[in-house]
Amino acid sequence: MNIHEYQAKERFRAAGIPVPPGDVARTPEEAEALARTYGGNVVVKAQVHSGGRGKAGGVKLARTPEEAREHAAAILGMQIKGLTVEKVLVTPAEEIATEAYVGVLMDRSAQAPTFMVSAEGGMDIEAVAATKPEAIRKLTVDPRYGLLPHQAYWLANYLYDDPAIVKQAARVVGQLYRAFVDSGASMAEINPLITTPAGEVKAIDAKMTIDDSELFRRTEVAGMRDSSDEPWAETRAREAGLSFVKLDGDVGCCVNGAGLAMATMDLVKYYGGEPANFLDIGGSSNPEKVVAALEIITQDPAVKVILFNIFGGITRCDDVANGIVEATKRIDIDLPIVIRLTGTNEDVALEILENAGFSAFTSMDEVVRKAVETANAEA
Ligand code: GDP
Ligand code: MN
Q: What is the pLDDT of residues 40-72, one digit of tens each?
A: 999 999 999 988 899 999 999 999 999 999 999
Mean predicted confidence (pLDDT) in 155-173: 98
Rounded distance between C-alpha atoms, residue 280 and residue 263, angstroms = 12
Mean pLDDT score of the chain, rounded to an integer?
94
pLDDT of residue 234: 87
Higher pLDDT, 282 or 136: 136
Other CB atoms within 10 Å distance of the CB of residue 155: 25
Rounded distance between C-alpha atoms, residue 250 and residue 266, angstroms = 14
pLDDT of residue 379: 67
Rounded distance between C-alpha atoms, residue 358 and residue 351, angstroms = 9
pTM: 0.82
Catalytic residue among 10, 38, 67, 101: 101
Mean predicted confidence (pLDDT) in 278-304: 87
Q: What is the largest CA-CA distance in the chain?
A: 79
Bridge partner residues of 80 (DSSP): 83
Measuring from atom 10 of ligand 1, which residue has the nearest CA?
Answer: 54
pLDDT surpasses 80 at 203: yes
Q: What's the CA dihedral at 26, 29, 35, 40 to 10 degrees?
A: 150
Q: Radius of gyration over alpha carbons of the chain, in Å? A: 26
Rounded distance between C-alpha atoms, residue 193 and residue 1, angstroms = 23
Q: Compute, in angstroms, the gap from residue 124 CA to the centroid of ligand 2.
A: 9
Asked whether the beta carbons of 86 and 228 are under 8 A apart, the reply is yes
pLDDT of residue 378: 75
DSSP SS3 for 262: helix
- With CA atoms as reference, report the closest residue to 250 among 264, 232, 268: 268
pLDDT surpasses 80 at 34: yes
Q: What is the DSSP letter of 94?
A: P
pLDDT surpasses 90 at 291: no
Q: Compute, in angstroms, the gap from residue 41 CA to the centroid of ligand 1.
A: 14
pLDDT surpasses 80 at 285: no
Mean predicted confidence (pLDDT) in 204-230: 93
Q: What is the pLDDT of residues 69-108, one digit of tens each?
A: 999 999 999 999 888 999 999 999 999 999 999 999 999 9
Asked whether the beta carbons of 32 and 69 are under 8 A apart, the reply is yes
Q: Compute, in angstroms, the gap from residue 373 CA to the centroid of ligand 1.
A: 51
Q: What burial letters (b/e) apply to 349-367, b meaning 16+ CB within 10 Å?
A: bbebbeeeebebbeebeeb
pLDDT of residue 99: 97
Strands 337-343, 360-361: pairing is parallel
- Of the pLDDT bands very low, low, confident and very high (cuts 50, 70, 90), residue 284 is low
pLDDT of residue 289: 86
pLDDT of residue 126: 87
Rounded distance between C-alpha atoms, residue 160 and residue 164, angstroms = 9
Other CB atoms within 10 Å distance of the CB of residue 104: 26
Of 41, 81, 96, the one to substitute when testing ligand 1's pocket (max ligand atoms within 8 A of C-beta) is 96
* Among the bound ligands, the one closest to the CA of 85: 1
Alpha carbon distances (Å) from 312 to 29, 225, 322 = 58, 35, 14
pLDDT of residue 199: 97
Q: What is the pLDDT of residues 337-352, one digit of tens each?
A: 999 999 999 999 999 9
Alpha carbon distances (Å) from 1 to 4, 37, 230 = 10, 32, 9
Of 43, 80, 85, the one to substitute when testing ligand 1's pocket (max ligand atoms within 8 A of C-beta) is 43
Q: Compute, in angstroms, the gap from residue 61 CA to the centroid of ligand 1.
A: 9
What residues flank ligand 1, with Cβ below 6 Å? 43, 45, 51-54, 59, 61, 93-94, 96, 99, 122-123, 191-192, 204-205
Rounded distance between C-alpha atoms, residue 249 and residue 238, angstroms = 21
Mean predicted confidence (pLDDT) in 147-172: 98
Q: How buried is 145 (Cβ within 10 angstroms: 0-12 exposed, 13-18 middle, 19+ buried)?
A: exposed
101 is catalytic: yes
Rounded distance between C-alpha atoms, residue 90 and residue 34, angstroms = 7
134 is catalytic: no
- With CA atoms as reference, report the closest residue to 41 among 75, 88, 92: 92
pLDDT surpasses 90 at 230: no
